[in-house]
Structure 1
Amino acid sequence: MSLQIYNLSQPWGHHMPEWPSTPGINVHVKKFHAKDGVYMTEFEGIMHRGTHMDAPLHVTENTPCLMGYPLWRFFGTGVAVSIPKKKWEVITAEDLENARPKIREGDIVMINTGMHTKMADTDEYYAYSPGIYRDGAQWLVDKKVKMVGYDVQANDHPMATKLVDHGLGPTHPHLIEEYKEYFGRDPKEDFPDWEAGHKTLMVKGSIPGIENVGGDLNKVTGKRCTFMAFPWRWQGGEGCAIRVLAVIDPDQTFRFEKG
C-alpha cells in the first residue's frame, strides 16, 4: 500500500496575487542568521488571501465563526470534478448534476474550471473569472456535501461582489459597462444579490467554502479521493489560510478500520 498525497493549495506569502481590495499579505524579516543567529519573520494582512476558507461570519452578522464548523466537515471522501468555464461563465446546478465522477451526498467537492493555472495579479483571474452563484450553491446544499473548493477567485461570481454595484462597491465600475456590452444585460439582472453563493453555501448550508484551490488539482481531477483542509482553532475567526490535501490509494486497498 502506497498512498499518494497531492497539494491543492496555491503558494502563499509576500507579493502573492491578491483579491483586489484591502492591501494584503506583507512579510517582514525581524531576525536573520548573520545578525541574530536565528531567522524569524512577521506578517501582516487579512486572511482572505490565496487558498483559504471562509466562515459564515465573513458575510452575515450574528452567524458562526470558524469554530462553528464541526471537525468532520474538514476530512473525508469526495471528488475533484472538471467543469471548464470561460470569462464570466457560471457554474450551474446542471453542471454539478452532470459532473463525473458523480457527486454523492456527504462528499467533499473540488471544482476545476481551469482558472487555477491562470492565478496571477491580473484582471483575467480576478475581474473576468467564472464563478458560482445561488442556484449552484443551493444544489450543493441540497446534496448535503461536506465541504466545497473552487479554483476561482471567490465563493461567488465576480458580478456578485463589490467589484460591481453590490455592498461597498462598485470598486471597479468599468466592469458594469463591460458586462453590459458583453452580454447585453446589466450584471444586476443576472446577479441581483450580493454574494448569494457565499450566503447560500455557508450561512444557509453551514458548508465550508474554499477559494483559490490550485496546486496539483489537475492531477486528481476526475478521481475520487480523500480530502482534508483544516483552519486554525481561532475563536472569532471569519476566514483562514489553509493547506488542502488530496490522498489517493492507487491499489484501492487501504481502508480506515471501524472502531
Structure 2
Amino acid sequence: MFRDLSRPIETGMPTYPGDPDVTLAPDATHEADGYATSELRTGTHAGTHVDAPRHTVPGGESIDERDVGRFAFDARLVDHRPLGAREPIGPDALPDPDALDGDLNLLVLRTGWAAHWGTDRYRDHPYLTAAAAERCRESGVGVGLDAFGPDPTPTAGGGADGEASEDGEPDGTPAHDVLLGASLPIVENLCGLDDLPERFRLYAFPLRLRGADGSPVRAVAEWEE
C-alpha cells in the first residue's frame, strides 16, 4: 500500500515563523493564453520537506550534493501520543540502539501535533532534547516528525529554534545540529501518520536545488498489507 504523508503546497499555508510566505497563482491561463502555467513562490523549508546539513552546519552538504538513494528510508514509527505543548522527548522515549535492526535509518515520531496544522498551537509542538538527538546519532538514524521540526519553534516572528531560553523563546538548534552534523536526515511537517504500521518504507525525494539547505518533498509511505 501507498500513502501520501505530505502537506499540499498552497497559497497561505503555514510556514515556520520568519520563513517566506507561500504563494501559488496562475501565470498563464487557457482563456488568455491557450495554455496554463503557474508561479510558485516558496522557501526551501515550506510544507513537508527535508533538511540538508547546510541548514544548520556551516559548510555542510547541500540538498543536491546528497545521493538520491539517501532519501528512500527504512522507517519505524514511534508513537509519542499524547504529549503536552512543548513537552520534551528525552532519550528514554526512543528505542534502545541495541534493539534497532541494521536496515533502519529513520525514526518517524508521531506526536499527534499534525491535528493542529493551520493554528497557532501547531508552534507548540513537542521536541527532541539534545540527549535524544544524541541517541539517534549513536543509532545512526534520522528523524521524521509531524511538526515544524525536532527543536522547539518560536511563538511568533523569526528566530532560531532550540531549547527554551530564560524568556521562554527557543535558543539555538541543538537537535538539528546533532543530527545534521552527523549527516542524518530530518523530515518535517509529515501528516497522515495515524494507523500506519510500525515498519514501512518512506520516500521523500527533494527537488534538485543547487546549493540549497533543504527542499519540499512528496513524502510517501509504502508497506505490505
Length-normalised TM-score, structure 1: 0.76
RMSD of aligned Cα (Å): 2.7
Q: Give 3-state SS (helix, strand or coil) of 1:197's partner.
A: helix
- Structure 2 gaps, min length 5: none
What is residue 175 of structure 2 aligned with on the other side?
A: 197
The corresponding residue for 2:20 is 23
Counterpart of 2:183 in structure 1 is 206
Match of 2:95 in 1: 97
Asked if 2 retains the 8 angstrom alpha-carbon contact of 1:7 and 1:243, the reply is yes
1:156 paired residue among 120, 145, 151: 151
Query: What are the ranges of 5 or more consecutive residues in structure 1 without an aligned counterpart?
Result: 172-178, 251-259
Partner of 1:86, secondary structure, is coil
Cα deviation, 1:112-139, whole Å, max 9, x if unaligned, reads 000012111x32101x221113111111
Return the alpha-carbon distance in structure 2 between the equivalents of residues 155 and 17 of structure 1: 17
Matches within 5 A, 1:119-138: 119-120=117-118, 122-126=119-123, 128-138=124-134
Match of 2:79 in 1: 82
Q: 1:113 to 1:243 in 2, by over 3 A?
A: same
User: How far apart are 1:211 and its partner, in Å?
Assistant: 1.0
What residue in structure 1 maps to residue 214 of structure 2? 239
- Shift of the 64–95 alpha-carbon distance from structure 1 to 2, 3 Å rule, reads same
Structure with a larger share of its residues in strand: 2
Number of equivalent positions: 221
Alpha-carbon offset, residue 162 of structure 1: 8.9
Q: Structure 2: how far apart are the matches of 1:28 and 1:78?
A: 35
Tell me which stretches of 4 or more aligned residues in structure 1 moved more than 2 Å: 67-73, 102-106, 161-164, 168-171, 185-188
The separation in 2 between residues aligned to 1:83 and 1:162, in whole angstroms, is: 22
TM superposition score normalised by structure 2: 0.87
* Rounded Cα–Cα distance in structure 2 between residues aligned with 1:169 and 1:110: 25
Percent identical residues? 26
Matched residue SS, 1:155: coil
Shift of 1:240: 0.2
Once the 2 structures are TM-superposed, how far is the Cα of residue 187 of structure 1 from its aligned partner? 4.2
Equivalent of residue 56 in structure 1, options 28, 46, 53: 53
Distance in 2 (alpha carbons) for counterparts of 1:58 and 1:118: 25
Q: Measured at CA, do residues 170 and 234 of structure 1 come closer, stay the same or move farther in structure 2, by a change above 3 Å?
A: closer
